[in-house]
Amino acid sequence: MAFKGVHFPAGFFDMDAMTTPSSSTSQLADSDYPRHTQLLSVGLRNGASPQKLINLRGDVISGIVKYNPRPSTNSHTVDITLMAYILGGRKLLYALSHDCGLPSLRTSRRHMAFIRVMPTIGTISISDILQNIEKVVFKPRAAAGQAKLRGINLLIDKTALEQRAVHFRHNSQVGGICWRHAPAVNLLLNMYELALKLSEDIKKGTAHLANELTVVAASCFGEGGTYPILALPSCKGVNADDSQNIYETVIEAWEKSGAAAKVGDIWSWLTDGAMPRRIAGYRCFLSQKLSPTCPIYGTLASMAGLNLYTGVNQSTLDFDYKHIFKRIFPLLRSTQGIVLNNGCVINPAMLARYLTGLPQYSPESVHKMLYPHDPQDIPRAIELLEAVLAVGKLDYGNMDANTCADVDALRLLGSVINAILEPFTNVHMNLKEQITSLSTFAYLSFTLF
């Protein structure tokens, strides 16, 4: 019997050489061979009996037969391959490919599109963004035959960056310097003296290595995936003016590149809850009131309290809703707590007293929920908000005056939390219900706080 991709010695499937099922089962239980599924698939395709498959697996585990099948290539293994390549480079991927059966880098390249984003060297410039739009947006979309115009959502956020200088050979410049301070130094590196001078400037504090990377990516409404168009080395000192400069530069580059005509107009900007980016967003995208000639003006103008201000070309500002939850979470965990306008204070001590009344929580689990190891843990934050809602729904029977005041405060806070939580967690709500709930949250927040 010939197994494709597997070489067996003559007489391998001789019935006299078979081991007992119990011994083969013991071998399987004691082994950590990672490719049992592939081995069985090859055998079944070649018509092997169950007993022969057991013997085959036992001999492969024992080392009698060398089995090196082709690595399984699917979305899961390709993702792991990409992660290994990013974290450890070619050497780590080579080791994992041989030990765990991951696809090689060459195989992975056939199943995914690799792109290279050019990071900004020095201060922010339109030319770098134009280059990334051409290579990251235009070329992949043209290769995939994606010509339909879409609404564009631009996303901006920061990620941690290893603090080190990097030499770019294509222009003999040094990258990794914070863009805000890069103009104060000479980043050209074509002479030994320039390298010494740059090192001395960094030591003096004239410029410093970036510890964060500001990333701007474009996503298309109705399509999956994102297109990174700006990778900007930065630091914690970025203020609202700097963020506004980033917004305006990216918008200008998008228009100059012709992306609006080839891909689509910018509809919205999505940012996190960082104060500088929020202030800059208010300046850029709440500057022009919606014109009465706009097709949707008649519908939106009738909604009392709805903000009708937008940015250029009616682009809007959007925030990551998870950051709204993250801002409520620290308030509930703080010693001062949340003070309602009736004077009641809701703090961790009060919450711990009532959360233990829920059957699914013990004092230990309540403590972990109120004091998590990671304050930015969004699932834990949502769990706490949902627990506050559940506390307000309990039947407390006859209560004294103090307990009654606490329960009323918890139920009132629960109404506020439910109004902001449900539109983002209940997938069955329609648009009208979502707007009604969010408006309720806005009015209750102004009333209670």
Task: Walk along the chain (449 residues) in steps of 10 and give the mean pLDDT of each run.
Answer: 44 43 52 58 71 68 55 75 84 81 79 80 93 93 88 92 87 90 88 89 89 94 91 91 95 95 94 88 91 86 80 88 80 83 82 88 88 81 88 84 86 90 89 88 81
CB contact at 8 A, 2 and 42: no
Helices assigned H by DSSP within 317-377: 321-333, 348-355, 363-370
Amino acid at 418: N
pLDDT at 72: 64
Q: Counting every residue, how long is the chain?
A: 449
CA neighbor of 228 nearest in space, from 135, 104, 306: 135
Q: Quick one: 108 exposed, middle or buried, by C-beta within 10 A (0-12, 13-18, 19+)? A: buried
Q: What is the chain's Cα-based Rg? A: 30
CB neighbours of 121 closer than 8 A, spacing ≥ 6? 128, 168, 171, 173, 174, 175, 182, 187
pLDDT at 153: 95
Instruction: Tell me how crowded residue 91 is: count the other CB atoms within 10 A of its CB.
Output: 9
- 93 vs 115, 186, 281, 352, CA distance in Å? 18, 37, 41, 48
CB contact at 8 A, 314 and 290: yes
pLDDT at 26: 57
pLDDT at 161: 87
Helical (H) or strand (E) element with 293: none
Q: Taking the model in full, what pTM does it have?
A: 0.71
